[in-house]
Structure 1
Amino acid sequence: MIALREKRTVFVENLHTLPDPRWDGAVTRVARAGHVICGPDYAISRLSSPGFDLLYCREGQGTIRIGEELRRIGPSTCAVIAGDQPHGHFADRQDPWVLYWLRITGAEATEMMRLLFGPAGRIPIARGAAVADWFSRLFDLMRERGTNQDLLINRQIGELWSLLNAERLALESDRLPPALMRLIAAMGARPELRWTAEDMVSTARMSAAQLRRLFSAHLQTTPRDWLRRQRIQRAQDLLLRQGVTVSAVAEACGFSDIYHFSREFRRVVGLSPTAWRQSDGGGGL
């Protein structure tokens, strides 16, 4: 592989799809995808393109240009390029990259890219073999060209989101300040406790203002909202158990009374605790 990279560009895979218009607006599309072993002269430049280009650099290095901004991309990195402005990507001449890539358009793609990649536009990848395997299975679907191709690819894209989000969460966990890790571990273990502002400050060993800034910067929420979700998740677990009353669930999850519990549960879940328990999604068969 290295000898090829030093001499010329080789497209291992270069695939496209013809989307079925029946599913417009309902699924996320993959218009094109491929696997390329880049030579030193490999360069792509466009004024615009539909959707987003997602690049996974398996080996080597290169540069992404978005407008006037240049972003250096190294090995084991996934990066995204928005196609709504002039852009390009270029292999490093001394160490040209090996890329897996795809172009994504359609339902919710813009919001997913914002949530997953953030302002940096990249995610370091620890499980490179899993991402490469995902691309291999995508290529198989694109070659089949079956009548159900759009929906199968949409399902495959959902798996990619999960892979990338797991990588992002692992990275964020590694970067969480010790004070924040200490507090969320304590609250996650005992969400039923009152957890006053003083309790949180004492556990984190920092001021309330500093604590709010950490939650906002690293978890995009507030300490109280984070705790509320922990309590509701525990409440859902308990509601699935036979013979446990709603009032007992409220008490076990740290809510002051059943009315407060029902109000907060409905606000987060969209249903009352009783309705959720009785629903197909909550109660099962």
Structure 2
Amino acid sequence: MERAGEDMDDAVATAPPRVDRLLPGRFAMGGDYATRRPHGTSDWLLILTVDGSGRFGVPSGPDLTVDRHSVVSLAPRTPHDYGTAPRADGWELLWVHVHPRPSWPGLLDWPQVAPGVRRIDLPPELAGRVAAALSRAVTFHHGRMRNAALFGMNAVEEALLWCDMRRPDGDRLDPRVLSVVEHVSGRLAEPHSVRSLAALAGVSPSRLSHLFTRHLHVGVMAYVEQQRIAAAKDLLEVSSFAVAHVAARVGYADPLYFSRRFRRLVGQSPTAYRAAHGES
């Protein structure tokens, strides 16, 4: 393990990891931790500081110091020179090397602090959500479940979506909308209405509708239906549940109505969708 503070040209370089889709992990390192890859890697590297303090060397200026709740991304081919910050006792970090999905570039467009180096500082609540998502990616990577890599990619995408809420140039999600989004995502099978969700958020139904249109560009109940259909698609792909059972699990008491809505939104029936996308 290299020592922090050595000149990058003189330090022994760390070999780049082999990354197919993603390679996540969690380290709790001491004061002498440092990693240097002069040519970077072919993937993106995301690092969330969980505790302690770290530093990132940049060629155009002084080192970048990061503390708890900071997230740094290193773009492909950006030199890697990072480790525990000077005078810090240690650095605990969640990290992931990842080849982004085609839909991710906008999620990685954070404020750039040096060529190829981007940083976002998160409030504690959002940092906890990002840490939870990245921790799930680590768990999936070390597990043996089917489609572990896909679950891991989903977890990283979730982490990026939470980070995206803190982009200075973005429209940050209103906490009242966030409370409804989280409530719905964990209770798709329960009945929902604009009135009941507005009461949960502590606003009037008209105000909640306005907030959803502003932040999510969709109506409240249209959002609920989108989430139900998305969950139904996942169940049809990875399970052998009967269509009626899938419908009930995502909040449709009438399987015929569910099938009509699914066909309208997806373009094919649940049975046809499973035949085309389900596990063989």
| TM-score, with length taken from structure 2 | 0.49
More helix by share: 1
Rg larger for = 1
